[in-house]
Amino acid sequence: MTRAAIVGAAGYAGAELTRLLLGHPDFELVLVTSAADEGKRVSDLYPALAGCNLVYAPHDAAAVAAHAEVAFLAVPHTAAMAMAPLLLDAGLTVIDASADFRLRSPDLFAAWYATPHTAPELIDEAVYGLPELWRALLPGARLVACPGCYPTAALLASAPAIRADVVISSRVIVDAISGVSGAGRTPSPASHFVAANESVAAYKVGSHRHTPEIAQGLDDLGLPHPSVVFTPHLAPLGRGLLATVYLEAEPGLLPEEAHAIYRDAYAGEPFVTVCEPGMQPATAHVRGSNRAHIGVALDESSGTLVVTSAIDNLVKGTSGQAVQCANIVCGFDETAGLNCPVPVV
């Protein structure tokens, strides 16, 4: 068994990581940390995890290094860049679920996150952890930067068409909806029940921090100089994310050809399902799972390829993807701890 620790384990992403690692056949969860809930039992804070006897410890890189071989970081941005160098120097593998190492430009990070990057020497080493698109980079990686939830859905929806060279415009529109858990465990005025219930609202229009990450991924996929229009929305859901991506398709592309591009691109992928022609995904179909369901349609009148991607923001969008990446890095079965049925209602 490979010993694992979760730094920032009391937040929603950390709790999902805890759930997944407790049932993992190859990882032994030996340490969980939390600044706000230090000294509390995991099962007291999250009764759904009854049977887990771990107690939240303080954030301490030396203690993590002494107990674990792999560290999962589920912390706010800037915290990971402070701890990751210490853990890497101690010989640990770091799977970072925060935003600190996703962007390859320190200046771009500083511009979008309003703080300088304090570990720029690690940026080039960090592997962007979206296995379906860049799996070959993961085996043996020391530092994995797990994608954001919106970029995960948007890039999975865009990749096959871009790689098949049927996208003729650098302008990509991403219209996305996420559940309230995406805002984190600490409530804000917009995420309180009375504000979010029975309401759908756009937020951070033109200024969401996932915008440059989506653009970077599109460029890596081969779309030159991408121009991203990204509009996120908050919906009254506990969890779930639905992204609809609009791509300008080459003239003459047929609906059945577009569907075949996606079907063939994701054939054999353990966690991606391309819906049958005429079918569209729903967040309820992937709730609690590490799966992505993708629907493909072609608006022939406008020449627009419309691709919809549904994921669970806390699993494929964060914690499940972190485990998937760690499985590959450590040489385990990629689906270990993740390939289980989920509720159907």
Could you list the mean pLDDT of each consecutive 10-residue stretch along the chain, which spans 345 residues? 97 96 97 96 96 95 97 94 97 97 97 96 97 98 98 98 98 96 79 82 95 98 98 95 98 98 98 98 96 98 98 97 98 95 71
The pLDDT of residue 195 is 75
- Predicted model pTM: 0.96
The pLDDT of residue 345 is 65
Q: Which domains does the chain carry?
A: 2-125 (3.40.50.720), 150-312 (3.30.360.10)
| Rg of the chain in Å (alpha carbons) | 20
Q: Residue 217 is encoded by which pair of tokens?
A: 């991924």
Residue 176 CB neighbour total at 10 angstroms: 24
**Nearest C-alpha neighbor of 7 from the set 50, 70, 49, 51:** 70
The pLDDT of residue 187 is 74
DSSP secondary structure string, 109-174? HHHHHSS--S-GGGTTTPEE--HHHHGGG-TT-SEEEPPPHHHHHHHHHHHHHHHTT-B--SEEEE
| 3-class DSSP assignment, residue 296 | strand
The span from the CA of 4 to the CA of 57, in Å, is: 14
The single residue of 149, 275, 325, 330 carrying the catalytic annotation is 149
Tell me how far CA of residue 27 lies from CA of 20, 70, 122, in angstroms.
Answer: 10, 9, 25
The span from the CA of 118 to the CA of 114, in Å, is: 12
The span from the CA of 113 to the CA of 211, in Å, is: 12
Q: Catalytic annotation on 146?
A: no
The pLDDT of residue 182 is 82
